C-alpha cells in the first residue's frame, strides 16, 4: 500500500470511526484489566468484553494505554 | 468465602484460584492497619512506580525536552496518584482479572495522561476553522482512485453541512490535528469521556449520511 493510500485510509477511519457498538472511555478503563488478562491467557477477549476492540480501534488514547498495559505485563519477570 | 466472589468466566481453574488467593491477600493487607497495611502500601507503590517508569520510557520521544529529574517527578506523581485512586477504589475490584493487572492500569493511565499533557504544554491547539474547506486540496491525492476520492469528498461535505460547530471543532482537533484527547479535554474544560461522546455522535452521523452505518 502506498503512503498516500495509508494516509487516506487512516483519515477516513478516523472520521467515520468503528461501525460496531463500542464501549465508552470510562467502560474501557473499567474493563481494560479483564480484557488484557484475557488476551494474555489466550482466551477469547473480544467475546468476554464485547465492544472493547471497537473502542480501541476508534480511540487512540485508550489504544495506547491498552498496548502499554499488555506490554508491561509481558515484560515483567 | 467462595459465595462472596462475583461470578466470572474462568477458563483455567487452578490459575483462577491462584489469582483469587493473590487478590485476597492484597485486599486483606491493604485494608489492614498498622505494619501490615504500611508494608502492602509500600510494595504496591513500588510496583506502580515501576509501571509508571515503563510508560514514560515508552513515550520518551514525547518527553525529549524534559530532563531526567522532570521525568522522575512525573513517574513519582503518577505512582502517587495511582496509589490514591486504588486505595479509594478497592471495593470496585471484582476478581475478574489479576489484582496486579487491575492496579497497573491506574499507573499506566496516570503516566500516559501526564506525558501527553507535558508534550503539549507549550503548544497552541492547531484548531483551524477553515481546515475542512482546505482539506480536499491537501488530502485528495490524484493517485487515489476516483471512488476513494469521491467518498472522502462526501464525508467532508457531511462534516461541513451536517455536524454542529462543536462537533466539527472536536473532530477537527482529534482527527485532523491529532491532538490527544486528554489535552483537548483539559484545554476545553471538559472530560475525556464527554469529548469521546461528541466524537462518537459525530462519527455516527457521518456514517449515516454517507450510508456506511452497519
* Contact yes or no for A15 and B175 at CB 8 A: yes
CATH code of the domain occupying B131-209: 1.10.10.10
- Sketch the domain layout of chain B as residue ranges: 2-120, 131-209
pTM score over 0.80: yes
- Whether the pLDDT of residue B214 is over 70: the answer is no
- On whether the CB atoms of residues B45 and B83 are closer than 8 A, the answer is yes
Higher pLDDT, B211 or B39: B39
Residues 4-63 of chain B with CB under 8 A from chain A are: 9, 11-12, 15, 51, 54-55, 58
- Sketch the domain layout of chain A as residue ranges: 3-75
Q: Is the minimum CB–CB distance between A34 and chain B shorter than 8 Å?
A: yes
B48-83: buried (b, 16+ CB within 10 Å) or exposed (e) per residue?
A: bbbbbbbbbebbeebbeebeeeebeebbeebbbbbb
What pLDDT is recorded for position A50? 97
Q: Which residue of A has its CA nearest to B103?
A: A33
Q: What is the pLDDT of residues B24-83, one digit of tens each?
A: 999 999 999 999 999 999 999 999 999 999 999 999 988 888 889 999 999 999 999 999
- Region B184-213: mean pLDDT is 93
CB atoms within 10 A of CB B184: 22
Judging contacts by C-beta atoms under 8 Å, the chain A residues touching residue B203 are 15-17, 58
Q: Which grid cell sits at B148?
A: 476513494
Say which DSSP state B178 is in: -
Count how many Cα atoms sit within 13 Å of the Cα of residue A34 in the half-sphere of its side chain.
Answer: 19
**Whole-complex ipTM:** 0.94
A52 band by pLDDT with thresholds 50, 70 and 90: very high
What is the rounded distance in angstroms from the CA atom of residue B214 to the CA atom of residue B206?
A: 12
Q: Is the minimum CB–CB distance between A33 and chain B shorter than 8 Å?
A: yes
Q: Is the minimum CB–CB distance between A12 and chain B shorter than 8 Å?
A: yes
B17 Cβ partners below 8 Å, 6+ apart? none
Amino acid at each position: 500500500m502506498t503512503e498516500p493510500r495509508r494516509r487516506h485510509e487512516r483519515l477516513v477511519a478516523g472520521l467515520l470511526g468503528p461501525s460496531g457498538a463500542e464501549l465508552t472511555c470510562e467502560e474501557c478503563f473499567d474493563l481494560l484489566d479483564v480484557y488484557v488478562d484475557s488476551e494474555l491467557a489466550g482466551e477469547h477477549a473480544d467475546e468476554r468484553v464485547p465492544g472493547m476492540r471497537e473502542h480501541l480501534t476508534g480511540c487512540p488514547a485508550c489504544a495506547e494505554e491498552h498496548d502499554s498495559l499488555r506490554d508491561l505485563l509481558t515484560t515483567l519477570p | 468465602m467462595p459465595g462472596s466472589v462475583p461470578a466470572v468466566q474462568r477458563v483455567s481453574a487452578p490459575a483462577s484460584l491462584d489469582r483469587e488467593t493473590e487478590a485476597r491477600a492484597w485486599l486483606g493487607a491493604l485494608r489492614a492497619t498498622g505494619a501490615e497495611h504500611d508494608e502492602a502500601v509500600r510494595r504496591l507503590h513500588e510496583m506502580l512506580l515501576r509501571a509508571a517508569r515503563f510508560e514514560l520510557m515508552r513515550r520518551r520521544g514525547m518527553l525529549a525536552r524534559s530532563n531526567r529529574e522532570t521525568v522522575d517527578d512525573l513517574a513519582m506523581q503518577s505512582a502517587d496518584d495511582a496509589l490514591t485512586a486504588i486505595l479509594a477504589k478497592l471495593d470496585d475490584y471484582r476478581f475478574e482479572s489479576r489484582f496486579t493487572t487491575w492496579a497497573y492500569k491506574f499507573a499506566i493511565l496516570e503516566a500516559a495522561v501526564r506525558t501527553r499533557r507535558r508534550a503539549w504544554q507549550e503548544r497552541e491547539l492547531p484548531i483551524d476553522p477553515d481546515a475542512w474547506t482546505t482539506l480536499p486540496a491537501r488530502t485528495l491525492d490524484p493517485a487515489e482512485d476516483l471512488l476513494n476520492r469521491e467518498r472522502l469528498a462526501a464525508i467532508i461535505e457531511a462534516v461541513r453541512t451536517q455536524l454542529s460547530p462543536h462537533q466539527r471543532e472536536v473532530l477537527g482537533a482529534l482527527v485532523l490535528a491529532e491532538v490527544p484527547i486528554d489535552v483537548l479535554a483539559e484545554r476545553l474544560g471538559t472530560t475525556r469521556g464527554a469529548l469521546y461522546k461528541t466524537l462518537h455522535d459525530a462519527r455516527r452521523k457521518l456514517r449515516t449520511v454517507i450510508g456506511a452505518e452497519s
